[in-house]
Structure 1
């Protein structure tokens, strides 16, 4: 029997179920009408005007397949990010007006040549900052994404403040205090150059950290989004938000003419910008491991297994860890999981030559012998810690052929040493006690590491992507041999 009609059920990229009747059979049309009302959450293709408008806006500004192709924290981050974009666009108008006045706009005694030379000087500072910043911060952006994303806006706001106050610096006269104090015009030039350098550094840091966040948002647990489309949609939203802020600012800025009103408006906008950015970064739930997140996870895991029952071990989820993270923190710091106090410091990827300057020669020799079979070597600095800081200073050297898992093991070993060290009755153990701590914690790590990694995987962590060490190590140990063998080879 030939078919006269069919009812086709389709699911679009947003997860909505749509029904289409192919044919003219009356019974099939009845089935279609009855079927489309049954499933919960389904939508007919013929929608109300406001629903069609909402879906059109979603298609323009949200990624295809939303919310299935992005992580759950995507929306919260984007809402706060749009708020901070709006505040930044408004404060940027005040900064632009201040920079123009600093270049001589409105000053009858200023010349176009002076403004040009000042622009060139500011551009030179910006370009040199980009080169130097890429060298020092390039390898740190991915491991410490949240820290540098927030830090970028702190730098940007500093640049905005310098641009805004630059016209008022010319009124400062401190020559009566000291002849070595710069004049007001010199302070203005310094402020404008520093502003350009900071704005350049902000673009560098924000661009790198934003790329890491975009890669995170496009990697939900059960699917994969399009990184390119996420960047395009983010640019569309930023354009609309920035344009709205600029249009609104053109109506408000002409009324902000006095110094008091300018500083008041700048304070409110900068405060709102930083608050929105902090909430945006705080809402991100990363599943990759870095030093701080692995420290929180390991401390919680070890505290739950002190009684010896490994089956009762507790492993925090990525959401729980995100609530405990400190946004602005030094990666080398080792903190206690409960009190968050600093209990030590660790440096990964140092050279043996550097370790020799911080540790006793006998200690270095014994550690090299003890870690002969390991892909890393761990040293404990002198009693005052690394660079005089509280707690043990732990230095880690890597051997040729190490991988990311070895970096994690070395960092966890450093965490265990710092925790054991902080529990001692004295903060200055002897050399033998220090070596015993290293040996005991090494054995503890050997017993617990496999179980810990399994718990991380069950809790939803991405153990394949970890970033304990920022960049490459300064040097890698290729081998070791006694001085006697080296002399025999040299004489042979």
Structure 2
């Protein structure tokens, strides 16, 4: 037999919908009062309170961003294999010292590039967020192409890997900084951290899917350079 409900003291809303609250039970104690559509509201909370708590372009942005992240994850698997080939994995004539020097040179150029880029363009990333995010996507594609080219031009392999590392550092700085600016734009209820966290979780999920697809993709493309270059980036 259900107990009669007491007075409601507090209600929590997402937009115009009540999601929870507190009320007094017959014994004089307070208990949490959940809305009837708790499952629907749980889904809404998982989506950062979509659509009331985010900007109107949030859903469209996430769809395109997820597709871009999936393609980039798959292409990144191909470039990783190419980088390992370029530094001598599988080549009996290659030396560990040579591969280590190439790797250290990549890291060193990347550090310098990151510092110089922030010094030159750091103040423009907020007001030109769209332009730099687009530039970051283009540079990411350039880096992928350079890395895939490296094992085919062994004489230029270290130089191609260094240029790719420099491009990737610009991608990391510009992409991360502009994503923070977009989170500020998309958050409508002082929920920037929530939007950023949901975006990070979404990207992690997409990368996980890309990892599983890569396990199927790499054996199919092994030894087939035409298919490798035809794969979308």
Question: Which runs of structure 2 are paired with 1:16-31 in the superposition (5 Å)?
Answer: 16-17=17-18
Give the helix-richer structure, 1 or 2: 2
Q: Are residues 229 and 44 of structure 1, via their aligned partners in 2, closer, same or farther at CA, if it must alter by over 3 Å?
A: closer
Other-structure match for 1:94? 78
The separation in 2 between residues aligned to 1:81 and 1:116, in whole angstroms, is: 35
Offset at residue 149 of structure 1 (A): 0.7
Q: Deviations over 1:389-447 (max 9, x none)?
A: xxxxxxxxxxxxxxxxxxxxxxxxxxxxxxxxxxxxxxxxxxxxxxxxxxxxxxxxxxx
Spell out structure 1 runs of 4+ moving beyond 2 A: 4-24, 43-47, 54-60, 65-69
Q: Are residues 119 and 23 of structure 1, via their aligned partners in 2, closer, same or farther at CA, if it must alter by over 3 Å?
A: closer
Other-structure match for 1:214? 183
Offset at residue 191 of structure 1 (A): 0.5
The separation in 1 between residues aligned to 2:119 and 2:19, in whole angstroms, is: 53
Other-structure match for 2:30? none
The separation in 1 between residues aligned to 2:37 and 2:125, in whole angstroms, is: 47
The separation in 1 between residues aligned to 2:44 and 2:97, in whole angstroms, is: 49
**TM-score after normalising by structure 1:** 0.42
Q: Deviations over 1:16-63 (max 9, x none)?
A: 336888668xxxxxxxxxxxxxxxxxx95266xxxx2x6444433x22
SS of equivalent to 1:115: helix
The separation in 1 between residues aligned to 2:19 and 2:116, in whole angstroms, is: 55
The answer to whether the 8 Å contact 1:14/1:66 transfers is: no
The answer to whether the 8 Å contact 1:7/1:19 transfers is: no
Q: Are residues 204 and 19 of structure 1, via their aligned partners in 2, closer, same or farther at CA, if it must alter by over 3 Å?
A: closer
Matched, 1:263 2:229: yes
Q: Are residues 57 and 96 of structure 1, via their aligned partners in 2, closer, same or farther at CA, if it must alter by over 3 Å?
A: farther
Cα-Cα RMSD: 2.4
Other-structure match for 1:45? 36
Question: Which of 112, 115, 118 is the equivalent residue of 2:99?
Answer: 115
Offset at residue 132 of structure 1 (A): 1.3
Question: Which of 99, 110, 115 is the equivalent residue of 1:126?
Answer: 110
Q: Are residues 165 and 207 of structure 1, via their aligned partners in 2, closer, same or farther at CA, if it must alter by over 3 Å?
A: same
**TM-score after normalising by structure 2:** 0.85
Offset at residue 137 of structure 1 (A): 1.2
Question: Which of 177, 195, 201 is the equivalent residue of 1:236?
Answer: 201
Matched, 1:227 2:185: no
Q: Are residues 135 and 22 of structure 1, via their aligned partners in 2, closer, same or farther at CA, if it must alter by over 3 Å?
A: closer
Offset at residue 259 of structure 1 (A): 1.0
Offset at residue 67 of structure 1 (A): 2.5
Q: Deviations over 1:204-239 (max 9, x none)?
A: 111221121111112x3xxx3222222111111110
Other-structure match for 2:151? 167
Tell me the number of residue pairs that the alignment of Structure 1 and Structure 2 aligns. 220
Q: Deviations over 1:69-115 (max 9, x none)?
A: 22111121111111111111111100111111111111111121111
SS of equivalent to 1:12: strand
Q: Deviations over 1:295-318 (max 9, x none)?
A: xxxxxxxxxxxxxxxxxxxxxxxx
The separation in 2 between residues aligned to 1:56 and 1:113, in whole angstroms, is: 54
Question: Which of 163, 188, 204 is the equivalent residue of 1:194?
Answer: 163
Matched, 1:59 2:59: no
The separation in 1 between residues aligned to 2:143 and 2:5, in whole angstroms, is: 67
Matched, 1:83 2:84: no
Per chain length, whose mean CA-contact separation is higher, i.e. which structure has more relative contact order (CA < 8 Å, sep 6+)? 2
